[in-house]
Amino acid sequence: MADLPELTVQGWGPSGDRVATVAAREGATAPDDGVLELAPDSGDGLPRAARALLARELGWTPRPTPPVPVRDIRLAPSRLPADARARFVALLGEDAVLDDRHARLGHAGGKSYLDLLRRRGGDASDAPDAVLLPDGTEQVAALLRTCGELGVVVVPFGGGTSVVGGLAGTDADDRPVVAVDLRRMAGVRGLDVPSALVTVGPGMRGPALEEALAADGLTLGHLPQSWEFATLGGYAATRSAGQSSTGVGRFDDLVAGLTLATPSGVLELGNPPASAAGPDLLGLALGSEGTLGVITELRLRVRPRPRSSQYEGWSFRSWAAGLAALQRLARHDLLPDVVRLSDPDETRVSLRQSGGLGARVLRGTLRARRRGAGCLLVVGWEGLPTIVRARRSAASSVLRDGGAVRLGSRVGRSWVRHRFAAPYLRDRLLDNGLLVETLETAATWSALPGVYDAVRRALRGALTGPGRRPLVMTHVSHGYPTGASLYLTVLADRDDDLPIQQWLTAKRAATDALLAAGGTLTHHHGVGADHRPWLAQEIGPLGVDVLRSVKQRLDPQGICNPGVLLPD
């Protein structure tokens, strides 16, 4: 649709452009407080301070590694038989069946480092054979029946932001593949204000929903870093978590009900406010990653827009002290809505790559208090002013008791301003010979330190070579009474000859290590194609069999996203 900017094929941001949309808007309107600004450009698109710092830390030689021009990306001819195409046109209309180069390229895979490497290198072998644009549950249900008869594989497509190979479209039987893009099913279909429930189409994006809810003083409050492009259906299909999920809950907590169209029929799942009618089948659809069918409608829990939002920074002397304080906050039900505790590596890099007077003052303050970089904690409280004040005051005492020093609201404002910017910076790092990827997990408070050590050791072991070492930066991104999630960003000098193997080796080592230490395979990115070899380790072979049986009942021809979630 015209009002939905498309994601660029080889990176992040609107098609044909590399300028942040929300990030730029927030930057343009925020007060210029001079804190933690990215330092000026060094001419190759990289902030000067970041370039020098990374070259020193990684043993990296900055060099231009631009993507091939989009027109040179290789795309095999569509394998969709003419009679199948005609059946789709009869069902959906000519303008809803796209098999041109632009449409197929725009639906090739997701946005992981490996996806981007492939597309930047001119490889779009994971592009679907056609893109279909249904406009309602009945059309989707009919489409799935037709695909079952024709033996055509269906990959539901939301925003295309999967980072775990969720859109890889692989099929052991090599059948033709269609991407079912849900952009025509993108509106608000009903708002029940007394019950705080909104009914939406799965192709709707977060910014549009927030705009629609604002008129009634409501918000969903789900803000992942991919918020500009990801869809509500995609969040449900992957069990996403957002920046305020510690407070408002993960996306699965926000889904009160949904409609799932499957090749065997349509399921209406969830019964708010609560039901005890047997096991919760809604849980089967959440995280199903398109393997059981297509989510065609969602009923979401919304809340009043916060009248007060307070974000601020704190500093701990050590990672262990920071974790202990968060654990204490969790035990007393005092966790803020936003919790982001950076380890010493992440803190050091974010402080050093920042320019501006405010950043220099902050560095001076930390040095004067003999903290060096320490560990930075960004916290945020959102809600009614009186409640925010009370929660913040109680939590502040716990933080101070835990040895934290308050750095103030400038740090919080700076985090808000830059919170959608990292994926744009990633493109610039990729243009200059770097490996850049993220991974995530979660563990109980008792297992968390061991998981942190194990995964960092594994990544360092796999990515260290003569004169080269990786930078592994970690933060706690969501807190729970029982534990927390860890989010890791990995930077290393790219192996120009074997870049894909370089990351696959590191990812394998990291995943083995975090599972052995008691972490979960994924806290919020999902399983996709990339994590499926390890699923049985997390849920057991019997658990995998249960999922297979459900899939067999709902999708007997195995046409629904067969390349993801379930191991071969």
Ligand X SMILES: Cc1cc2nc3c(=O)[nH]c(=O)nc-3n(C[C@H](O)[C@H](O)[C@H](O)COP(=O)(O)OP(=O)(O)OC[C@H]3O[C@@H](n4cnc5c(N)ncnc54)[C@H](O)[C@@H]3O)c2cc1C
Active-site residue list:
487
Interface with ligand X by CB under 6 A: which range of 19-27, 153-161, 388-396, 546-554? 153-161
Residue 374 annotated as lining a ligand binding site = no
Residue 540 annotated as lining a ligand binding site = no
Is residue 166 near ligand X by the rule CB under 6 A? yes
The residue (of 259 and 502) whose beta carbon lies closer to ligand X is 259
The residue (of 73 and 560) whose beta carbon lies closer to ligand X is 560
Is residue 240 near ligand X by the rule CB under 6 A? yes
Residue 290 annotated as lining a ligand binding site = yes
The two tokens of residue 237 are 């299909």
Q: What is the DSSP letter of 129?
A: S
Least distance between ligand X and beta carbon 8 (Å): 12
Sole binder of ligand X in the list 11, 13, 176, 233 (CB under 6 A): 233
Three-class SS of residue 88? helix
Is residue 159 near ligand X by the rule CB under 6 A? yes
Amino acid at site 288: S
Is residue 423 near ligand X by the rule CB under 6 A? yes
Residue 238 annotated as lining a ligand binding site = no
Least distance between ligand X and beta carbon 424 (Å): 9
Residue 61 annotated as lining a ligand binding site = no
| Beta strand segments in 204-307, E | 218-219, 255-262, 265-269, 294-301, 303-304
Is residue 10 near ligand X by the rule CB under 6 A? no
The residue (of 183 and 460) whose beta carbon lies closer to ligand X is 183
Q: CB 331: neighbour CB atoms within 10 A?
A: 12
Task: Residue 339: name the closest of 374, 314, 372, 319 by CA.
Answer: 314
Sole binder of ligand X in the list 241, 425, 443, 506 (CB under 6 A): 241
Least distance between ligand X and beta carbon 544 (Å): 17
- Enumerate residues 6+ apart whose C-beta is below 8 A from 499: 117, 435
Is residue 380 near ligand X by the rule CB under 6 A? no
Which residues, numbered 196-215, are part of the site for ligand X (CB under 6 A)?
Answer: 202
Is residue 139 near ligand X by the rule CB under 6 A? no
Residue 316 annotated as lining a ligand binding site = no
The two tokens of residue 536 are 């049985």
The residue (of 258 and 395) whose beta carbon lies closer to ligand X is 258
For 366, 381, 386, 537, the CA distances from 306, given in Å and listed in that order, are 32, 9, 11, 41
The residue (of 84 and 286) whose beta carbon lies closer to ligand X is 286
Q: What is the DSSP string of 20-69?
A: -SHHHHHHHHS----SSEEPPB-SSSSBHHHHHHHHHHHT------PPPP
443: left (phi over 0), alpha (psi -120 to 50) or beta: beta
The residue (of 222 and 460) whose beta carbon lies closer to ligand X is 222
Query: Please, are residues 122 and 170 in contact by the beta-carbon 8 Å criterion?
Result: no
Report how far residue 207's alpha carbon sits from residue 223's, in angstroms, rounded to the nearest whole number: 9
Residue 161 annotated as lining a ligand binding site = yes
Is residue 525 near ligand X by the rule CB under 6 A? yes
Q: What is the DSSP string of 430-477?
A: HTTTEEEEEEEEEEETTTHHHHHHHHHHHHHHHH-BTTB--EEEEEEE
Least distance between ligand X and beta carbon 463 (Å): 21
- Enumerate residues 6+ apart whose C-beta is below 8 A from 279: none
The residue (of 225 and 354) whose beta carbon lies closer to ligand X is 225
Sole binder of ligand X in the list 60, 113, 157, 381 (CB under 6 A): 157
How far is Cα of residue 320 from the mean position of the Cα atoms in its chain? 27
Residue 231 annotated as lining a ligand binding site = no
Interface with ligand X by CB under 6 A: which range of 19-27, 32-40, 500-508, 520-528? 520-528
Residue 293 annotated as lining a ligand binding site = yes
Query: Please, are residues 158 and 202 in contact by the beta-carbon 8 Å criterion?
Result: yes
Least distance between ligand X and beta carbon 405 (Å): 28
Is residue 234 near ligand X by the rule CB under 6 A? yes
Applying CB under 6 A, the site for ligand X has a residue count of 38
Amino acid at site 136: G
Is residue 161 near ligand X by the rule CB under 6 A? yes
- Enumerate residues 6+ apart whose C-beta is below 8 A from 163: 110, 111, 112, 115, 438, 525, 528
Report how far residue 274's alpha carbon sits from residue 409's, in angstroms, rounded to the nearest whole number: 39
Binding site for ligand X (CB under 6 A): 12, 110-111, 155-163, 166-167, 182, 202, 224-226, 230-231, 233-235, 237-238, 240-241, 289-290, 294-295, 423, 524-526, 561, 564
Residue positions forming the annotated binding site for substrate: 426
Residue positions forming the annotated binding site for FAD: 156-162, 289-295
